[in-house]
Structure 1
């Protein structure tokens, strides 16, 4: 008689979260089975979720006894724990430093540029959309120049740096940030979306204000 075993990994997130998408995409790339729990606002305020992440933020990954919030930290963990090739988070000092640089950009300029502009456009908020769009323009211009002479952000092949930066760049137009001025970025997005098992970041079904 066969028995069904629950996956050891559980991912808490929401479908339109770029932070969640980073982790979900990488789990799929690595071919790891996992249980997905949609963590809407009500669940994130619950005692059970706050026990996992006192900040009430997504994503959260549970792998056996390990409870790990923060999408970038989760990418590093999954690469080091499950990628036998060692290519997704390389350990050579130069490569490792370049990956870390782009992880910092993902957590900084991309978060406060394209990601914030998208949030303000789709859901509103008190921050300045103009300021977020200005940050987005600077980081996208930098990325476009960087990618003009290379295929990937940090190495000669895709790494977790590309996964971390992908989602909010792909959906920058949802924050009224057109990608037409950035041809190298658009070609890079096509390469990322061609990575086997990666599912593109979903587009929002929320009507956008013109």
Structure 2
């Protein structure tokens, strides 16, 4: 009689663009949770995200998207929430009381709002040639960073006394803001926070543009 073999979970399949901060949020969360992952890079310029096969996984044609043993999801913040609740200590990541949960949700909304309209949009122009107002995106970025800098002067993490989904959702585009022409030299508290994220066990970075590598 043979001993039972330990269950080895199937890798989470992550459909991504390797230089997308939205995708990196998910890849970082998977790594912090120690989950096996297989990445599938989509040629967005060739429309790979609009094929019937991908639309069956992500109906709006978005990346990131995941397939976790048949659970298919798109939208980076939705995926972060799912991973925390299914594979991690959900309350630690998502909030242990109503105030923490609300603070974390506020930063998830900022990640989808001000961060997307600021550092993300500025980077889309410089790296991908997006037809957006770069000067306006840079101005929005610095307005947001000033608020974040003041917020982080007397705390280590964005929403609680520990790392939460708020930090994971905000990290990627803030860390890569210089690629969009948004410098971080004037924001020491933000730079210290970025360093704390990067010191987490399991941290994995996103590829930087050649000019800043």
Q: Give the TM-score taking structure 1 as reference length.
A: 0.92
Match of 2:124 in 1: 119
Equivalent residue number for residue 133 of structure 1: 138
From 59, 67, 75, the equivalent of 2:80 is 75
1:185 maps to what in 2? 190
Greater Cα shift, 9-18 or 164-173? 9-18
Q: Distance in 2 between matches of 1:85 and 1:168?
A: 24
Between stretches 145-154 and 83-92, larger displacement belongs to 83-92
Q: What does residue range 4-19 of structure 1 map to in structure 2 within 5 Å?
A: 7-19=10-22
- Distance (Å, rounded) in 1 between the aligned partners of 2:89 and 2:182: 38
Q: Is the 8 A contact 1:170 1:201 kept in 2?
A: no
Superposition deviation, residue 190 in structure 1: 0.4
**Hey, what does 2:108 align to over in structure 1?**
103
Rounded Cα–Cα distance in structure 1 between residues aligned with 2:129 and 2:116: 16
Distance in structure 1 (CA, Å) of the matches to 2:33 and 2:91: 12
Question: Is 1:38 the counterpart of 2:41 in the alignment?
Answer: yes
- The equivalent residue for 1:87 is 92
SS in 1 for 2:202: coil
The alignment partner of 1:52 has SS state of: coil
1:86-112 alpha-carbon deviations (Å, 9 max, x no partner): 311124100000000000000000001
Mean Cα deviation higher: 109-118 or 44-53: 44-53
| Post-superposition offset of 1:65 | 2.6
Q: Which residue of 1 aligns with 2:69?
A: 64
**Post-superposition shift, 1:51?**
1.6
Q: For 1:49, what is the secondary structure of its paired residue?
A: helix
1:40 is displaced (CA, Å) by 1.8
**Aligned equivalents of 1:54, 1:134: Cα separation in 2:** 33
What runs of 5+ residues in structure 1 fail to find an aligned partner?
none
Q: How many residues align?
A: 206
State which drifts further: 173-182 or 53-62: 53-62
Matched-pair contact (CA < 8 Å) for 1:7–1:35 = no
CA distance in structure 1 between the aligned counterparts of 2:53 and 2:209, rounded to whole angstroms: 28
Aligned partner of 2:157 among 152, 164, 187: 152
Deviation at 1:125, TM superposition (A): 2.1
